[in-house]
Amino acid sequence: MTNLINPPENRFMEAIRQGETQLGLWLALTSNIAAEVIGAVGFDWLVLDAEHAPNELTTLIPQLQALRGSMSEPVVRATWNDPVLIKRFMDIGFRTILFPYVQDEHEAEAAVAAMRYPPEGVRGVATMHRSCSYGAEAGYIQSANARACALVQVETASAAERIEQICDVENLGGVFIGPSDLAASMDHLGDPGHKDVQGMMKYLCDVCKSKGVPIGTLAPVTADAKRYLEWGYTFVALGAEVALMRAAAISKLAELKGA
């Protein structure tokens, strides 16, 4: 008798829809051991970065296996808004995907469609992959669309000009603001704390809130994270595991160096 698995809900997606604060962390080391360690800490969501970290499908799968049973939602930041690549991310087990450099509502629509089976999208159908426990999960095809959460990165001034139209995209899971790239596009490279950049981030938050669309960002500095949460940002990543490891190592060495 086949052991049928009940489809797990996407708790992260439901939480941000309800306006519940979700705190996350970036995973950039491409390490399943690091993922396993951080997966037991208690973050609500963890980003496995395939844009700026050297992750491939073969490095992502062990990390997903390490996070199996974790309360943290695994999120992959895609290399690009490519439906073929997105299909493969979905098939290995992701149901929340962060799309970089989305410039307008048409690119946001393409991102949403890449994650969903027809007639709502263009995701290709397979029946023997990790996401459906290789055929053991009952009703996967019927329930997959309802668990698919597309997060689009608004990280340029030109994309910010289209924020209202982006927010109107059907089935969009949320908007993510990339402070560093936004700052660069506003001629403030390396200075996301500039008042003009911060003003834009507040404006984008206000628009998303008025549209009922969850908004998130990355904030390694605690004071920034607190400010964004006060503004109404719902899902905030508090840094990256590689940065935390380096900071802890520097601090430990400094405790005794020269003593």
Catalytic residues: 52
Cis amide leading into 74 (omega within 30)? no
CB 163 within 8 A of CB 208: yes
Nearest CA-CA partner of 21 in 222, 214, 171: 214
| Among the listed residues 246, 163, 257, the one whose alpha carbon sits nearest the alpha carbon of residue 208 | 163
Note whether 2 and 136 are within 8 A (CB). yes
- The first and second tokens of residue 136, run together, are 């053991």
In this structure, the number of other CB atoms found within 10 A of the CB of residue 153 comes to 26
Task: Please list the alpha-helical segments (H only) found in the chain.
Answer: 11-17, 32-39, 57-66, 83-92, 105-114, 140-147, 157-160, 163-167, 179-185, 195-211, 222-231, 241-256
Instruction: Note whether 125 and 141 are within 8 A (CB).
Output: yes
**Is residue 191 helix, strand or coil?**
coil
Amino acid found at 71: M
Among candidates 99, 47, 40, which has minimal Cα distance to 75? 47
- 138: phi then psi, degrees, rounded to nearest 5: -70, 130
